[in-house]
Structure 1
């Protein structure tokens, strides 16, 4: 959930192609697992250009 989340999704359009990156929300210790909230539904990303 949101409390454990330490990465967030950021969308970039580069040359007309969609790139989605996971970016740290806080400092993450070496060896710490990455947690992303898949149920956030904050943004809708069209996937028809995904490779």
Structure 2
């Protein structure tokens, strides 16, 4: 098995994993930002 075929085989799963990681990161950032906004809004209303 040559190195080139190994690289092309690895590209698919690793790309999917990378995409999933990016989506997870974006969702975490969004949740963090949203909770922070709710917190600040709650503090302002008091």
TM-score normalised by L of structure 1: 0.19
Normalising by structure 2, we get a TM-score of: 0.20
Q: Which has the higher strand share?
A: 1
The answer to which structure has the higher helix fraction is 2
Which one scores higher on RCO, CA 8 angstroms, separation ≥ 6?
A: 1
